[in-house]
Structure 1
Amino acid sequence: MAEFESASESREARTEAVRALEAEFGELLTRIRRLIAENAERVSPGMLPGAYKVFTTIVRRESITLSCLAESLTADKGQVSRTVRELEELGLITRTPDPDDGRSSLLSPTPDGIRRLAVAREPHDNALLDTLQEWSVQDIRTLARLLHSLTTGESP
């Protein structure tokens, strides 16, 4: 009987811990959404967070086709295409012919787009570094490793 209670208690403790983690992730996501909305507004007044995500994905990948972009964002190709047109009109990205496939284009950030993104991110550039200032480098690495394990579904 004691073994069953111990297993039950352990399950309850695990469930409680997971719920606390879920709540903290919820708070973190809210903070990230706010940051993305603020950055989007600084890149271009009225820019929606979804367009910012498309733009930053293009910047991160440096050069990407529309199909690969939609796939990486797990988004509808038509919606991504409309957003890409908006980003082009804003002068944030450009299309060039794909040398490997004449039927498609490569999407790349413009120098002005990269500059505007850097300016938008500047107010928060050191926020995470400042927040983790008192953490040991080993704790930061451990958190990164654990988050990677959680993201990929791998055991730490």
Structure 2
Amino acid sequence: MIHNDTREARTEAVRALEAEFSELINRFRRVITENANRVSPGMLPGAYKVFTTIVRQESVTQSSLADLLTADKGQISRTVRELEHLGLISRTADPADGRSSLLSPTPLGLERLEAARKPQENTLLTALADWPVDDIHNLARLLHALTAGVTP
């Protein structure tokens, strides 16, 4: 009987965690949508993700970008053209492969991204302002274990 109580308690705890993750994901989606609109009015979250991935990589081929995002190469190609048209990224010849080009953020793109992120810059810091630092470290450790699929 203890086994069932333990299993039920675990199931209940996991369901509560799932509900909290759902709320966190919803909040994160709102932030991404707002940031995308601040970078360029009407920009979709998917284009924002492509753009921020290019920024993180600093210089990446379109094929590598599609692999990184596990996305359709045709959709990536359309999004890259849109970002290029907006002046957020530039395309230069890939010295390693003349048939390919490297995608990089432009100074305008970096400026727009920084301005878009500014309103949320301190959100997490503010939300955790009253938390003990050990609790913040513990949360980070536990989330890492969860995403890595290991037991903490």
Normalising by structure 1, we get a TM-score of: 0.94
Which of 105, 108, 111 does residue 107 from structure 2 map onto? 111
Report the counterpart of residue 147 of structure 2 in structure 1: 151
Matched, 1:87 2:83: yes
- C-alpha distance in structure 1 between counterparts of 2:139 and 2:151, whole Å: 14
Letter in 2 for 1:116: R
- C-alpha distance in structure 2 between counterparts of 1:129 and 1:143, whole Å: 14
Give 1:102 deviation, angstroms: 1.8
Which of 21, 29, 32 does residue 28 from structure 2 map onto? 32
Residue correspondence of structure 1 range 1-150 to structure 2 within 5 A: 5-150=1-146
- C-alpha distance in structure 1 between counterparts of 2:73 and 2:56, whole Å: 19
Q: Note the aligned Cα RMSD (angstroms).
A: 0.9
What is the aligned-residue identity percentage? 70
Letter in 2 for 1:53: K
- C-alpha distance in structure 1 between counterparts of 2:105 and 2:150, whole Å: 34
Normalising by structure 2, we get a TM-score of: 0.97
Aligned residues: 152
Greater Cα shift, 29-38 or 100-109 = 100-109
Give 1:99 deviation, angstroms: 1.6
